[in-house]
């Protein structure tokens, strides 16, 4: 009689893969459609952040006299900024996304894992739009499409994976205490400056080698730059370090989200 | 269809994140006061709730605010985990709580219908097939292609409700949704719910409006402080519910006169006291039987001369329905003759109300002018049944109709 029961009694209505997929697609379509519907510039907002970031960071990079290793500065910075924007906006938006769907969470036993995924896919749409601009810019600077580009799906996947791992951890905390909702933007700013976005990986490696090794974004962002700007494969060691760090984050974040998400309806 | 749709056994619910099970067990062992510990380490939203609902049955749940009604629905809906006990639900469930859940204000009505369908687990194709029915029920016409932020709140509810009642579910959870929408839409919803209920759908209905329990449900629970205080037929539960609601009575009789000055109105006079008297003997009474004649005596403190005004008296039942309304015009000639303590009497003959508790609302308003004084729930009284038959009708309706029945073979 005093058995511990954490089970949600109602059967999950979205129990089949088809239902899950359908819900995922519906929510993503909703968010993409609705996001820019009442704006003047419309879907242009999907690419504006990346472009603005590129301009600002290129300017800063020139100002502090950071080396672009002999490459055109704009292309050098943009190749890292576009994936970074994908990572950053996913991480920042995931907790908001979970909160915004609070009414659904309080009503239907939908799988709680779906909401962070929806945010990542929505941001992925923005990323794809920005990527088109990026490819055009790279062509303008005469950087050809090479075999190394085959690495891109893996790199994009790792970026999404990292964003997801951090995002679910943040959401689990945010549902109970809203601090990270406000704080995360500033943390992301700091993270940006210690990642090889504005400056090269070798520069960071020189100044803070440990930080470079522990930074889960370092290997991935550097990988993007190597592939896109130099047409080389990513540094396998650094990429592996990123992957291991991501898995460590996930090892903490996933169980936390899994347990806490059951109680979202109680506190939302 | 037979068998149980919902089976709840010793369900306890405490809000907040629980400790890990092994840690909780260890703490329980340390506290070592067994069952007593549970009661102590609350606060509990639900305590030891057990009930069963058969397939196709409709169960009503009533209770005051904070009694645990919505918590219970959340547990049944499976969005919130229970702390102890077990709760089994079988069948496809549709919670009609938060009807607007998932509606995006920047999308059109039609886009939102598809989205709501997806949230319920339907594929795009299935929703496409249901679309005509849903559109038909919503009666939103061209509005369906406009973004929802332009809708009135009633229209938003219609959108949510139309999807809700047109999807196939075995169990419907309904929470107060009928309190919105205009009267025609409410009727339509009630009819649709009757239909669903007759077609074998299990209905769990939570409400503040006690009369709708009687109308829709076969059985009811009365929750109080997270516990089941009573379970049984709707009429039994209704009388339990009204007895629980009695503490709401606030009569001005014996109240501080200063409170009278704080009330709104011009204050040319103030209602100081209300009492009820037997029409024949003039003796003060607090209850009477259906069909008797009584007299309300209202004591006024007249402070300034007043022009002609209208004094009205409303009889209100526990669900705040106005049962009856009487008023009287008072000419300037009569009112100007008054000063200081005055008495207004209102005699009502043969009050044909069913047994139960009722309240009086009093309002005095100058003819085509401002309110002089008004008191809501100024006085409360009980009507008793003068026979066993009438006694049983307590709060099962409002008006007593003396009826005569006949049953015979029709002549050819």
> Can you list the positions of beta strands (E) in A66-120?
none
Whether chain B has a CB inside 8 Å of the CB on A154: the answer is: no
Chain A residues lying within 8 Å of B79, measured CB to CB: 8, 105-109, 265
Cα separation, A225 vs B311, in Å, equals 85
Q: What is the pLDDT of residues A64-91, one digit of tens each?
A: 888 888 888 999 999 999 999 999 999 9
3-state secondary structure of B256: coil
The order of strands in the sheet holding B93-96 is: B93-96, B171-175, B202-206, B58-63, B219-224, B227-232
CB A192 within 8 A of CB A80: no
CB B45 within 8 A of CB B19: no
Whether chain B has a CB inside 8 Å of the CB on A104: the answer is: yes
Chain A residues lying within 8 Å of B18, measured CB to CB: 6, 263
Cα separation, B96 vs B164, in Å, equals 7
In order of A49, A146, B104, B157, the CA distances from B116 in angstroms are 31, 45, 10, 13
For position A167, what pLDDT does the model report?
96
DSSP state of B96: E
CB A163 within 8 A of CB A87: yes
**Which residue from A38, A33, A49 is spatially nearest to A84, judged by alpha carbons?**
A49
For range B87-107, the mean pLDDT: 81
Lowest mean pLDDT among A28-37, A201-210, B180-189: B180-189
Residues linked to residue B324 through DSSP beta bridges, in sequence order: B315
Given the DSSP bridges, would you call strands B284-285 and B294-302 parallel, antiparallel or unpaired?
Answer: unpaired
Letter string b/e over residues B48-64, b meaning 16 or more CB atoms within 10 A of that residue's CB: bbebebbbbbbbbbbbb
Radius of gyration of chain A (CA): 20
In order of A40, A83, A189, A198, the CA distances from A53 in angstroms are 21, 11, 12, 10
Residue B322 backbone dihedrals phi, psi, to 5 degrees: -80, 115
Given the DSSP bridges, would you call strands B227-232 and B4-13 parallel, antiparallel or unpaired?
Answer: unpaired
CB B107 within 8 A of CB B148: yes
For position B70, what pLDDT does the model report?
86
Cβ distance of B89 and A9 shorter than 8 Å: yes
For range A28-45, the mean pLDDT: 87
Please state the separation of Cα A105 from the chain's center in Å.
Answer: 23
For range B310-337, the mean pLDDT: 88
For position B271, what pLDDT does the model report?
87
| Residue B406 distance to chain A (closest CA, Å) | 49
pLDDT of B76 higher than 50: yes
pLDDT of A1 higher than 70: no
**Paired tokens of A166:** 């951090």
Cβ distance of B102 and A9 shorter than 8 Å: no
Cβ distance of A37 and B147 shorter than 8 Å: yes
3-state secondary structure B41-87: CCCCCEEEEEEEEECCCEEEEEECCCCCHHHHHHHHHCCCCCCEEEE
CB B305 within 8 A of CB B336: yes
Length in residues, chain A: 268
Q: What is the pLDDT of residues B350-373, one digit of tens each?
A: 888 888 888 888 899 998 888 888
pLDDT of B412 higher than 80: no
Cα separation, A193 vs A109, in Å, equals 41
Cβ distance of B79 and A109 shorter than 8 Å: yes
**Which residue from A104, A128, A105 is spatially nearest to A47, judged by alpha carbons?**
A128
Cα separation, B38 vs B355, in Å, equals 41
What was the ipTM of the complex prediction? 0.79
> Can you list the positions of beta strands (E) in B55-170?
58-63, 84-89, 93-96
| Residue B248 distance to chain A (closest CA, Å) | 30
pLDDT of A9 higher than 50: no
Q: Which of B45, B80, B89, B126 to mutate to test the interface with A (most CBs of A within 10 A)?
A: B80
Cβ distance of B124 and A22 shorter than 8 Å: yes
Sequence-separated (6 or more) residues with CB below 8 Å from residue B196: B165, B172, B203
In order of B100, B186, B187, the CA distances from B181 in angstroms are 13, 6, 10
What is the chain A residue with the closest CA to B113?
Answer: A26
Cβ distance of B84 and A23 shorter than 8 Å: no
Nearest to B118 among A10, A23, A267 (CB): A23
Cβ distance of A19 and B121 shorter than 8 Å: yes
Angle at which helices A73-100 and A114-140 cross, to 10°: 160
For range A154-168, the mean pLDDT: 96
């Amino acid at each position: 009689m005093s058995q511990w029961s954490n089970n949600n009694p109602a059967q999950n209505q979205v129990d089949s893969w088809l239902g899950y997929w359908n819900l995922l697609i519906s929510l993503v379509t909703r968010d993409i459609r609705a996001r820019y519907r009442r704006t003047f510039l419309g879907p242009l907002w999907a690419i504006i952040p990346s472009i603005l970031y590129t301009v600002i960071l290129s300017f800063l990079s020139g100002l502090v006299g950071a080396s672009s290793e002999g490459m055109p500065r704009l292309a050098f910075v943009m190749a890292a900024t576009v994936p970074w924007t994908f990572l950053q906006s996913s991480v920042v938006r995931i907790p908001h996304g979970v909160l915004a769907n609070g009414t659904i969470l309080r009503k239907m036993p939908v799988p709680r894992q779906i909401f962070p995924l929806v945010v990542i896919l929505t941001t992925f749409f923005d990323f794809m739009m920005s990527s088109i601009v990026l490819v055009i810019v790279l062509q303008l600077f005469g950087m050809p499409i090479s075999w190394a580009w085959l690495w891109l799906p893996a790199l994009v996947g790792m970026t999404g994976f990292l964003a997801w791992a951090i995002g679910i951890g943040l959401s689990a905390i945010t549902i109970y205490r809203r601090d990270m909702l406000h704080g995360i933007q500033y943390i992301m700013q700091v993270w940006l400056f210690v990642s090889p976005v504005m400056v090269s990986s070798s520069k960071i490696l020189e100044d803070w080698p440990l930080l470079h090794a522990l930074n889960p974004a370092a290997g991935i962002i550097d990988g993007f730059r190597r592939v896109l700007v130099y047409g080389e494969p990513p540094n396998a060691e650094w990429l592996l370090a990123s992957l291991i760090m991501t898995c460590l984050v996930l090892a903490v974040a996933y169980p936390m989200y899994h347990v806490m998400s059951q109680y979202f309806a109680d506190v939302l | 269809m037979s068998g149980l749709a919902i089976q709840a056994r010793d369900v306890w619910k405490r809000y907040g994140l629980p400790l890990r099970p092994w840690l909780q067990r260890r703490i329980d062992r340390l506290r070592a006061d067994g069952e007593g510990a549970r009661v102590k380490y609350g606060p509990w939203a639900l305590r030891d709730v057990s009930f069963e609902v058969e397939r196709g049955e409709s169960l009503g749940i009533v209770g005051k605010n904070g009694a645990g009604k919505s918590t219970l629905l959340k547990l049944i809906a499976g969005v919130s985990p229970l702390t102890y006990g077990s709760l089994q639900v079988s069948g496809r469930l549709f919670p009609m709580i938060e009807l607007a859940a998932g509606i995006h204000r920047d999308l059109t009505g039609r886009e939102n219908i598809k989205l709501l369908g997806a949230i319920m687990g339907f594929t795009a194709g299935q929703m496409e097939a249901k679309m005509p029915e849903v559109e038909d029920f919503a009666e939103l016409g061209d509005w369906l292609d406009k973004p929802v932020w332009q809708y009135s709140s009633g229209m938003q509810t219609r959108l949510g409700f139309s999807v809700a009642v047109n999807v196939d579910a075995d169990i419907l959870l309904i929470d107060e949704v009928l309190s919105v929408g205009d009267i025609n839409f409410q009727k339509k919803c009630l009819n649709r719910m009757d239909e669903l209920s007759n077609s074998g759908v299990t209905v769990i209905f939570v409400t503040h409006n006690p009369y709708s329990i009687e109308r829709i449900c076969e059985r009811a629970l009365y929750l109080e402080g997270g516990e089941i205080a009573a379970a049984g037929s709707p009429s039994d539960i209704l009388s339990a519910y009204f007895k629980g609601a009695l503490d709401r009575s606030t009569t001005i009789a014996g109240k501080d006169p200063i409170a009278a000055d704080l009330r709104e109105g011009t204050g040319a006079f103030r209602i100081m006291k209300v009492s009820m008297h037997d029409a024949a003997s003039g003796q003060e009474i607090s209850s009477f039987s259906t069909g008797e004649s009584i007299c309300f005596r209202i004591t006024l403190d007249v402070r300034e001369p007043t022009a002609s005004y209208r004094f009205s008296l409303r009889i209100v039942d526990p669900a705040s329905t106005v049962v009856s309304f009487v008023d009287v015009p008072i000419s300037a000639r009569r009112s100007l003759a008054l000063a200081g303590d005055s008495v207004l009497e209102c005699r009502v003959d043969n009050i044909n109300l069913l047994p139960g508790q009722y309240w009086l609302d009093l309002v005095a308003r100058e003819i085509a002018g401002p309110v002089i004084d008004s008191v809501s729930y100024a006085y409360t009284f009980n009507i008793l049944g003068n026979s066993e038959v009438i006694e049983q009708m307590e709060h099962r309706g409002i008006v007593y109709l003396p009826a005569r029945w006949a049953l015979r073979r029709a002549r050819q």
